[in-house]
A and B are shown apart, each in its own frame.
Chain A
């Protein structure tokens, strides 16, 4: 008995036969991907069809083609402008405000001298990432509800406001609420990758900068930041690519009938049109529209980044 796999000079069929049990392991995985990933991907074809749910699964492929009609009605829907504004607006706000914060936080953590306090802050800062949005929504309720929320209670007690602020139930507050809760939940987690990049910086760079008379700020600006530029560029590409997709969990949990004009994003609309109103073909078209624009954005930002900074994802 030879080693089964290392000998790559054996013929194709012989190798395959020897590897058969291992190949079966892989095939089972591929079967799973076929059933739960590739077939649903093929099912996206109903976006171009007049699909009737009564015709079942096979109907998805036999239904008559109607071209881009669903896309047309989605774009002409009176909700369309609002959905675009919310989806892109929220992502743009997050890009401007919650993208730089983890970098700042990582710089600060790195500037702290190794201590128990530093580890405590780090450990605490990742925790909210692992808490589900349901819990976050509950916590926000405890702090911002008009009836019993702590923030309203304090502001009223200090006489800063006359009546409770409808933070959770007014469209005017929704963008702020979404931005704040996202930062609260993910800032520490998003900082990890920058901290890891900073940990890999050669200490001699700092030493020679110090010998040249650079203070702390100058060392941060001229050593730390340039050394993590590649990481920043890659994450920025991802963030720009994500401009067209919103945080679905957040929108579902913080959105309600009272702030719907600001909280409804495309993903939520797809869910409602598809699973609640059962307009499957139309909802699939709206979802595909979103995925397509996202893909275009990723490709554009990737090539822009490659030209400008030399860093790219693919």
Chain B
């Protein structure tokens, strides 16, 4: 209805605004998407050939050598393995543990609820800062172990608040009838509540997995001495910051790449695509849930 009426009465002002809006959003679209596309075509182009420039829309010398080089380098393979392990372990721990605590907190008439909520809020808004945190992890003997990558993120106050508001919406009778049948709280939580909370679990799992996969600082700060714990993100950071200050000329790069068809930059492009791929693959699902998530965060302030 409204659309039709507008279509009939489109004034000059409408036309100008529509045009300006169209141009602006198209610009945003191009500036957002083209960089990803550019990295894709560079990663699929012969590395030495790419040094001479001029690749804008399609690879000029199509090749998969950058990916072959990347995947044959045990350093990268190890990093991918650690990243996958950390993401799987970290995500499942975070989701299960946070939901368990949140389920407890969502109990109507919970004794001590006010105190618990205050502690939760304090921990949400204040922290000791990087150095005391580091020293604490050191005291627990977690530094340079795999566990430092998954245990400290096991509980999130933000996810917890999200989960509490979800559990509060579930009908209370669900647990009650099971309780009458003599089921324990753990059973009720695992067998009744969690299966009914798939939307919540999916949302939290996606958020947690993306941040696990992307984080580089946990490895760089808390496990720097253990080379076996380098993740894809942290190794990527090492490579990128090294290449950044590398001001060698094209000639020098061609020289150093004389014996192969790849350059440090072209392999880096392949590595970037591999690192982004999982995010892009879950993105359609992420997108479905996050607006709800961010709105909840906003309401809470």
Which A residues form the contact surface with B (CB < 8 A)? 1, 3-8, 12, 15-16, 19, 21-26, 28-30, 32-33, 35-44, 46, 53, 56-57, 60, 105, 108-109, 111-113, 118, 120-121, 123-128, 130-132, 134-135, 137-139, 141-143, 145-148, 150, 153, 157, 166, 168-169, 184, 187-188, 192-193, 196, 203, 215-217, 231, 234, 248-249, 252-253, 256-258, 267, 270-271, 274-275, 280, 283-284, 287-288, 291, 313-314
**Residue from the list A19, A35, A40, A123 in contact with B110, Cβ < 8 A:** A19
Most chain B C-beta atoms within 10 Å of own C-beta, residue among A37, A196, A267: A37
Given contact pairs A215-B11, A231-B298, a sample of 7 additional A-B residue pairs in the complex whose CB atoms are under 8 Å apart = A30-B116, A132-B233, A135-B275, A138-B268, A141-B243, A142-B269, A274-B131
When the two chains form their complex, are residues A21 and B185 in contact, meaning their CB atoms are under 8 A apart? yes
The answer to whether the Cβ of B50 comes within 8 Å of any Cβ in the partner chain is yes
**Residue from the list B32, B179, B241 in contact with A1, Cβ < 8 A:** B179
When the two chains form their complex, are residues A8 and B109 in contact, meaning their CB atoms are under 8 A apart? yes
Which B residues form the contact surface with A (CB < 8 A)? 2-3, 6, 11, 13-14, 17-18, 21-22, 24-26, 28-29, 31-33, 35-36, 38-39, 42, 50-51, 53-54, 56, 97-98, 100-101, 103-105, 107-112, 116, 119-120, 122-123, 126-136, 138-140, 151-152, 154-155, 157, 160, 172, 176, 179-180, 184-186, 189, 210, 213-217, 221, 233, 236-237, 240-241, 243-250, 253, 265, 268-269, 272, 275-276, 279-280, 283, 286-287, 290-291, 294-295, 298, 301
CB distance from B151 to the nearest CB of A (A): 8
Q: Measured between alpha carbons, how far is A25 from B101 in the docked complex, in Å?
A: 5
**Residue from the list B25, B186, B215 in contact with A109, Cβ < 8 A:** B25
Q: Measured between alpha carbons, how far is A188 from B276 in the docked complex, in Å?
A: 18
Most chain B C-beta atoms within 10 Å of own C-beta, residue among A36, A38, A257: A36
Interface SS of chain A: helix
When the two chains form their complex, are residues B104 and A23 in contact, meaning their CB atoms are under 8 A apart? yes
For A168, the chain B residues whose CB sits under 8 A away are 244
**Residue from the list A23, A24, A138 in contact with B272, Cβ < 8 A:** A138
Most chain B C-beta atoms within 10 Å of own C-beta, residue among A28, A141, A192, A215: A141
Q: What are 29 inter-chain pairs, A to B, with CB distance below 8 A? A: A1-B179, A3-B172, A29-B101, A30-B119, A36-B151, A39-B136, A41-B132, A43-B133, A46-B132, A57-B138, A60-B135, A105-B25, A111-B18, A112-B25, A113-B3, A118-B25, A121-B26, A121-B28, A134-B236, A135-B272, A138-B240, A141-B244, A147-B246, A147-B250, A148-B53, A150-B38, A215-B13, A274-B134, A313-B301
For A32, the chain B residues whose CB sits under 8 A away are 97, 101, 154-155
Most chain B C-beta atoms within 10 Å of own C-beta, residue among A42, A120, A147: A147
Q: Measured between alpha carbons, how far is A188 from B51 in the docked complex, in Å?
A: 33
Residue of A nearest to B101 (CB): A29
**A-B interface contact total, Cβ < 8 Å:** 302
When the two chains form their complex, are residues B241 and A4 in contact, meaning their CB atoms are under 8 A apart? no
For A166, the chain B residues whose CB sits under 8 A away are 247
When the two chains form their complex, are residues A44 and B128 in contact, meaning their CB atoms are under 8 A apart? yes
What 4 A-B pairs have minimum CB-CB distances, sorted nearest first?
A25-B104, A29-B101, A43-B132, A57-B139
